[in-house]
C-alpha cells in the first residue's frame, strides 16, 4: 500500500480510529509513510522510534501518531493528531485567524531522550489528516531532519507559510492579538 492509496481508502481520514482497529492501523501507516516519503533522499540516515502511535481509546485527546529521532543529528520529530472537536471553520477559509481551526501547528521543544541530561531539538506538529497537513509535515521533516535547517530558519519559513496559506495566525498576528488582549485586560482592571 502507498500513501496515495491510503488517501483514497474508504476509511480515510480514519476518524473512527479509537473504536476501529483497522482505521487505527491505517492511520499509523499514513504517518509512517509520510515520514518515509519525506526522507527518501536520505536513505542512509539512521532513525530510531521514540514512542509508539496511540489509539487513545479513552479519548484524552491529541494522541501521538509519530515520534522518532535521528541520533547522529540529535533531532527528533513528533506528530500529535489534531482534531476539530469544536467544528470550527478552517482558518484558511477565514480572514480572522483566532476563532478557527488550523489544520496544523508547528512548535519546537527540547526533549530528553532518557532524561533531562540528553536533550535534543524536537520538531512538534499537531496535525489533522488532510492534504494541507500532509504537505506541511513532509516539508517539515525534510527541512528539519534531511536538510538540517536551523530552528530560526524553520520558524521564518513557517511564518511565511502561515501568511501565504492563511492556515493560521503568524507570529506577528499572535503578538498583535496578545498585545491587544493585554491592553483590554489592563483597561478592565482600571475600571
What are the tens digits of pLDDT across the range 107-159? Answer: 999 888 777 778 899 999 999 999 999 999 999 999 999 999 999 999 999 99
The domains of the chain are located at 3-190
Q: What per-residue string of b and e applies to 97-109 under the rule 16 or more CB within 10 Å gives b? A: beebbbbbbbeee
> How many secondary structure helices (H) and strands (E) does the chain include?
5, 5
Q: How confident is the model at residue 98 (pLDDT cuts 50, 70, 90)?
A: confident
Residues in the chain: 191
Tens digit of each residue's pLDDT (9 = 90 or more) over 14-52: 999 999 999 999 999 999 999 999 999 999 999 999 999
Mean model confidence pLDDT for the chain: 91
Q: Which stretches of the chain are DSSP H helices? A: 3-7, 21-38, 131-141, 151-165, 171-190
Give the neighbor-by-neighbor strand order of the sheet with 104-112: 48-49, 64-70, 75-81, 119-127, 104-112
Strand partners, 68: 49, 77
Confidence at residue 95, expressed as pLDDT on a 0 to 100 scale: 82
Alpha carbon distance 47, 152 (integer Å)? 23
Q: How confident is the model at residue 169 (pLDDT cuts 50, 70, 90)?
A: confident
DSSP string, 38-85: HTTT-TT---EE-S-----TT--SS-EEEEEEETTTTEEEEEEE---T
Q: Which residue has the cell 493585554?
A: 182
Q: What is the largest CA-CA distance in the chain?
A: 64
Across 95-109, average pLDDT: 86
Confidence at residue 188, expressed as pLDDT on a 0 to 100 scale: 66
Phi-psi domain of 59 (left: phi exceeds 0; alpha: psi -120 through 50; beta: other): left
Alpha carbon distance 101, 114 (integer Å)? 34
Confidence at residue 77, expressed as pLDDT on a 0 to 100 scale: 97
Pairing of strands 75-81, 64-70: antiparallel
Q: What pTM, to 2 d.p., does this model score?
A: 0.87
Q: How confident is the model at residue 97 (pLDDT cuts 50, 70, 90)?
A: confident
Confidence at residue 130, expressed as pLDDT on a 0 to 100 scale: 93
Confidence at residue 6, expressed as pLDDT on a 0 to 100 scale: 96
Amino acid at each position: 500500500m502507498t500513501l496515495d492509496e491510503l488517501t483514497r481508502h474508504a476509511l480515510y481520514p480514519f476518524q473512527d480510529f479509537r473504536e476501529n482497529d483497522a482505521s487505527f492501523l491505517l492511520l499509523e501507516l499514513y504517518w509512517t509513510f509520510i515520514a518515509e516519503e519525506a526522507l527518501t533522499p536520505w536513505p542512509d540516515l539512521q532513525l530510531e522510534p521514540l514512542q509508539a502511535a496511540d489509539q487513545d481509546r479513552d479519548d484524552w485527546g491529541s494522541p501521538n501518531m509519530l515520534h522518532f529521532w535521528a541520533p547522529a543529528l540529535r533531532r527528533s520529530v513528533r506528530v500529535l493528531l489534531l482534531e476539530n472537536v469544536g467544528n470550527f471553520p478552517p482558518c484558511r477559509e477565514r480572514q480572522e485567524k483566532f476563532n478557527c481551526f488550523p489544520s496544523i501547528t508547528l512548535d519546537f521543544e527540547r526533549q530528553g531522550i532518557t532524561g533531562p541530561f540528553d536533550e535534543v531539538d524536537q520538531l512538534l506538529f499537531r496535525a489533522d489528516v488532510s492534504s494541507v497537513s500532509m504537505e506541511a509535515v513532509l516539508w517539515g521533516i525534510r527541512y528539519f531532519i534531511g536538510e538540517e535547517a536551523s530552528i530560526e530558519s524553520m520558524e521564518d519559513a513557517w511564518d511565511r507559510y502561515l501568511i501565504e496559506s492563511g492556515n493560521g495566525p503568524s507570529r506577528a498576528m499572535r503578538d498583535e492579538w496578545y498585545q491587544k488582549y493585554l491592553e483590554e485586560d489592563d483597561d478592565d482592571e482600571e475600571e
